[in-house]
Amino acid sequence: MGIFDKYQSLKTTRDELDALGIDPFSVKIDRIISPTEGIIHGRPTILAGTNNYLGLTFNPECIAAARTALENEGTGTTGSRMANGSYSGHRLLEQEIAAFYGKRDAIVFSTGYQANLGILAALAGPGDVVLLDADCHASLYDGCRLGGAEVIRFRHNNPEDLAKRMRRLGERAANTLILVEGIYSMLGDRAPLKEIIEVKREFGGYLLVDEAHSLGVLGETGQGLAEELGLLDEVDFVVGTFSKSLGGAGGFCVSDHPELDLIRYSSRPYIFTASPAPATIASTRQALRLLAAGKHLRKRLMANAEQLHAGLTSLGYTLGAPPSPVVAVVLDGKIEALQFWSNLLQHGVYVNLMLPPATPNGVSLIRCSVSAAHTPEQIDAVCAAFAELRELA
């Protein structure tokens, strides 16, 4: 077998897209106008697929903080945190994100993907057991693979199935690591965290919650689902990303376990990756201050999410979950979804197309992500585009 033979099925899929003249995975935004507007194919386009939940990418205070760091500290660190890449801002951000969550300490990584990769590979190695929700993000799966732990999947959002699998583990259940997400990125549904924690109380183990899509979205202060349900003290590790609500790049883990600091010395994605650029750290710190300062952005975000969800529901579309910043429309098949995505773009609306095998249960999804920066008029325009395509279907 040749080294490239394994790509044959992928080539076949790519050839199918080329035959349709649709390429949803290489869209180039020619110019960014605002957090919610851009120029694509020469047309003004509403950006409804960016995960820019709080719309902070153009916030003047974040830009000013990044500019100051750029001028004072340069364009990059050119090294890992353990070599020459830890500047004062890196540690300050760790202290600030830990204080935001009321946790003992935090570790900051270069991306959200690396946060999951680095934490899980260090936490769970050969001889350890990880139980993860079947719909968890690829980065969680990849972290488990890198560490070499035994991985057991339980059915999505099914605490009873988790309990059954922990019961089978017997005494080993007390040392397992359970992985769930606050808001799942594909459908926008939430983990039944209260019930998951009840299983943990019964059998033991440690709980890691990925709040990537719920940071800045849920909870009184925007900490995520665990805060909204009053369960943050029951969570051993919270991981998340700065690339969504905080409008930057990077990832983190916070915990009350004193051993968290030791992970720095055993996490390969932390040890061997260049640290985040000073400008990115500075803008993230400012975005975190804005997030912690008030609720108005979250209220605006949820109002927009409810407006879009209600509008698409009234048009007769099947949606993946109750209102959240992720509003996923379920379509019948891959070809239909491809054409629908392309037609939306021609109508001036950019969203995400999600196809099997990446999607739950093999469905095809048109995935909208709502921002606090969207105006009610933009949400109406998105609904109008869906309405016109509904009539053409």
37-40: strand order across its sheet:
31-34, 37-40, 43-47, 349-350
Per-residue model confidence (pLDDT) at position 227: 98
pLDDT level of residue 233 (50, 70, 90 thresholds): very high
pLDDT level of residue 254 (50, 70, 90 thresholds): very high
Place of tokens 């719309």: 55
Catalytic (active site) residue 185:
yes
Residue 34 forms beta bridges with which residues? 37
Q: Above pLDDT 70, what percent of the chain? A: 99
For residue 151 the two structure tokens come to 């991985």
Instruction: Kindly state the average pLDDT of the residues 286-315.
Output: 96
Q: Can you tell me the mean pLDDT for 100-112?
A: 97
> Model confidence over 80-98: pLDDT tens digits?
999 999 999 999 999 999 9
Query: Are 287 and 359 spatial neighbours (Cβ–Cβ below 8 Å)?
Result: no
pLDDT band at 393 (very low <50, low <70, confident <90, very high): low
> Does the active-site annotation cover 213?
yes
pLDDT score for 284: 98
**In the predicted structure, residue 392 carries a pLDDT above the cut 70:** no
Distances (CA, A) of 161 to 135, 158, 189, 326: 14, 5, 18, 26
Which of the following is catalytic: 103, 137, 213, 309?
213
Residue length of the chain: 393
Rounded to the nearest 10 degrees, what angle do helices 334-346 and 8-20 cross at? 50
Point out the catalytic residue in the list 110, 139, 185, 255: 185
| Tokens (6 digits) for 64 | 């000013």
Residues above pLDDT 90, as percent of the chain: 90
Structure tokens at 43: 């047309």
**Residue carrying the six token digits 């690591």:** 177
* pLDDT for the residue 19: 86
151-158: Cβ within 8 A, 24+ apart: 156/184, 156/360, 157/133, 157/189, 157/191, 157/192
In this structure, the number of other CB atoms found within 10 A of the CB of residue 293 comes to 10
Tell whether the model's pLDDT for residue 9 goes beyond 90.
no
The rounded mean pLDDT for the chain is 95
For domain 5-57+295-392, say whether CATH 3.40.50.740 is its number: no
Q: pLDDT digits over 262-283, tens only?
A: 999 999 999 999 999 999 999 9
pTM value is: 0.95
| Residue 49 near residue 351, CB atoms below 8 Å | yes
Name 63's Cβ contacts closer than 8 Å, sequence gap at least 6. 283
Q: Summarize the confidence of residues 290-294 as an average pLDDT.
A: 91
pLDDT surpassing 80 at residue 329: yes
Confidence (pLDDT) at 115:
97
- Which of residues 12 and 387 earns the better pLDDT score? 387
Cα dihedral 135→329→17→20 (10° resolution): 170
Full strand arrangement of the beta sheet holding 177-181: 105-109, 251-255, 237-241, 206-210, 177-181, 129-133, 150-154
The mean pLDDT value for 215-243 works out to 97
Looking only at the bridges linking them, the beta strands covering 43-47 and 105-109 are unpaired
CA–CA dist 304, 85 (Å, integer):
40
Mean pLDDT of 126-152: 96
List pLDDT tens digits, range 15-57.
888 888 888 888 999 999 999 999 999 999 999 999 999 999 9
- What pLDDT is attached to residue 185? 93
Task: State the DSSP code for 243.
Answer: S
Domains of the chain, residue spans: 5-57+295-392, 74-293
Residue 90 annotated in active site: no
In this prediction, residues 188-209 reach a mean pLDDT of 98
- Cβ contact 251:241 at 8 Å: yes
Tokens 């890196």 belong to: 90
- Say if residue 369's pLDDT is above 60: yes
CATH fold for domain 74-293: Aspartate Aminotransferase; domain 2 (3.40.640)
pLDDT digits (tens, 9 = 90+) for 239-250: 999 999 999 999
Residue 369 to residue 158: CA distance in whole angstroms: 25
Residue type, 103: K
Mean pLDDT of all residues in 161-166: 98
Catalytic residue among 90, 103, 137, 244: 244
Q: What per-residue confidence (pLDDT) applies to 214?
A: 98
pLDDT at 376 over 60: yes
